[in-house]
Amino acid sequence: MRFLICFLILVVSPVFSSNAQEAESLEIRANACEKAIEGESSSSTRIRAIDKAVFLGLKNLSVFDKDKEKMDDYDLNVMIYRILDEYVEDLSSKVTKSNEDKVCVEIQGYVNPSKIDIIREEFKRNIQNNGANNQDVFDIVQNVNEEIKFSPKNVEELALVYVDDLAYYNGAKSKKYANLLKQKIQNNAYYYLTEEKELADYVISPKILKAKVDLLDKDHKRLQMVLVLEVSGITQDVLPVTQNRFLLFSADESEQQIADRLIKKLLEAASLEAVRQIEIKETAKLEENTLGRIL
Q: Does residue 22 carry a pLDDT above 70? A: no
% of the chain with per-residue pLDDT over 90: 31
12-to-35, 92, 157 alpha-carbon distances in Å: 28, 10, 62
CA 75 to centroid of chain Cα atoms: 16
Q: 33-86 pLDDT, tens per residue?
A: 988 887 777 777 888 888 889 989 999 999 999 888 888 777 788 888 888 888
Selecting from 2.130.10, 1.10.3820, 3.40.50, 3.30.160, what CATH number does the domain 134-294 have? 3.30.160
pLDDT score, position 220: 84
Question: Domain spans of the chain?
Answer: 2-129, 134-294
204-to-152, 268, 281 alpha-carbon distances in Å: 21, 13, 15
pTM assigned to the model: 0.53
- Domain 2-129 sits in CATH 3.10.129: yes
pLDDT score, position 293: 45
Q: 178-206 pLDDT, tens per residue?
A: 999 999 999 888 899 999 999 999 999 99
Find the angle CA(210)-CA(216)-CA(267) to the nearest 5 degrees: 30
By the 8 A CB rule, do 192 and 201 touch? no
Provide the 3-class DSSP secondary structure of residue 180. helix
Which secondary-structure segment (H or E) carries 113?
A: helix 113-129
% of the chain with per-residue pLDDT over 70: 80
Average pLDDT value over all residues in the chain: 80
Contacting residues for 96 by C-beta, under 8 A, at least 6 apart:
31, 104, 105, 106
Instruction: Give the DSSP letter string of 20-57.
Output: HHHHHPEEEEEEEEEE--TT--HHHHHHHHHHHHHHHH
